[in-house]
Structure 1
Amino acid sequence: MIKRVSFLRRKDGMSEEEFFAHWTGPHADIVRQMPGVRGLRFGRVQSWTPEESRWDGVGELWFDSVEAAHAAFATEPYKSLLAADRPKFTREIQACFVEEKTVVQPPDGR
């Protein structure tokens, strides 16, 4: 399994509450329907070092493989829906794919 980690900065003039509500609401409704999604998690950033480089959110999205993720993001109507939705709440997004190795299991299986 592979994880796509996304770092998001909210749209200028948008409050943190508005950003998080849209991201975990309407945007999540699109993402959870994408083919091959195995997991979805949202992280609200509490602090960042250095503060001037701060991201507002960290998203985690699991797929069977990088290829499966690329295929999901290229599938219509999700490709067009995501492209239309992102400018409504984000200023910038960067993402990477990571392969995890758990050394100590987080509490509650998180």
Structure 2
Amino acid sequence: MIKIRIADEERQIDTADTQWINQQINRRREEGHAVCVRVIIHEGGLDMVLSSANCGTNGGGGRLPRPQEEKVFDLWDQRGLNSTSFTGGNLVAFLHQIKHFL
């Protein structure tokens, strides 16, 4: 299971298309809100929650990431999702690439 949560809206990965992702992010930015994105992954040996910079902290996982999880965290960083200025395109690219880890 992979879920994408943008602010208070949440969808499964198979229903979170590019249009929905861009709409959610752009609408909040146009309204002057900081955008919080979380990707929740419980699949293929991965058990993790990734959060964008504007989400604040949620306490962390309490254990060191497994090697495969570490690669996912690295991809999150490479796609700029730890930055406050990430785009919907950054998130879409991450979601397409994450499938290689499952």
Q: Tell me the TM-score normalized by structure 2.
A: 0.29
How high is the TM-score relative to the length of structure 1?
Answer: 0.27
Report the structure, 1 or 2, having the larger strand content. 1
